[in-house]
Amino acid sequence: MAGRNFRRYRDKPPMADMNVVPLVDVMLVLLVIFIVTAPLLTHSVKIDLPKASSNVNITKPAHIELAIRENGDLFWNGEPVPQEALAPRFAQEAAKQPQPEVHIRADRHVFYEKVAQVMAAAAKAGLVRIGFVSEPASK
């Protein structure tokens, strides 16, 4: 009797279709779970918060404009200053609270050594906010 069943399927090629019924069953169960749990996640407690108004306090931090020309001349906020006077000035500015920013404007042809000396003097004095100012490239 069992031999008859095997002979009936011997001439047919193997079935290569995917059975999607279990996949559909799982997806329907997940859909029901999400439908039930979604309202629970959006529930929030209503609170009557106090009303207050505030104005933005925009304060620009003090900064030092330090310019370096191509020949090595230094300018502290537009005033010429010798290299030897930088360390005491940086120390005086580092003692202030809040510390001012140092904006270095160096000529494009100035040697990097000169810029590094200025940065080292500022760092030794304790200034931590040092930045470079550059012009945007023209189009």
Cβ contacts of 114-118, under 8 Å, gap ≥ 24: 114/68, 114/72, 115/68, 117/83, 118/66, 118/68, 118/74, 118/86
Cα 128 versus chain centre, distance: 20
Same domain, 67 and 118: yes
| pTM of the predicted protein model | 0.54
Q: Does residue 106 fall inside a structural domain?
A: yes
Same domain, 9 and 70: no
The total domain count for the chain is: 2
pLDDT-derived band at 17 (thresholds 50, 70, 90) equals: confident
Q: Does residue 54 fall inside a structural domain?
A: no
Read off φ and ψ for residue 101, nearest 5 degrees.
Answer: -85, 145
Query: According to the model, what pLDDT value does residue 20 have?
Result: 87
Q: Does residue 56 fall inside a structural domain?
A: no
Query: According to the model, what pLDDT value does residue 29 have?
Result: 95
Range of the domain at 125: 63-132
| pLDDT at position 27 over 90 | yes
pLDDT-derived band at 117 (thresholds 50, 70, 90) equals: very high
Read off φ and ψ for residue 116, nearest 5 degrees.
Answer: -65, -35
- How many CB atoms are closer than 10 A to CB 48? 5
Q: Does residue 73 fall inside a structural domain?
A: yes
Q: Does residue 137 fall inside a structural domain?
A: no
Please give the Cα distance from 116 to 130 (Å, whole number).
12
Q: Does residue 50 fall inside a structural domain?
A: no
DSSP per position, 6-61: HHHHHTSPPP-----HHHHHHHHHHHHHHHHHHHHHS------PPP--------PP
Which amino acid, one-letter code, is at 83? Q
Same domain, 28 and 70: no
- Indicate the average pLDDT of the chain: 83
The residue with tokens 């933005």 is 56
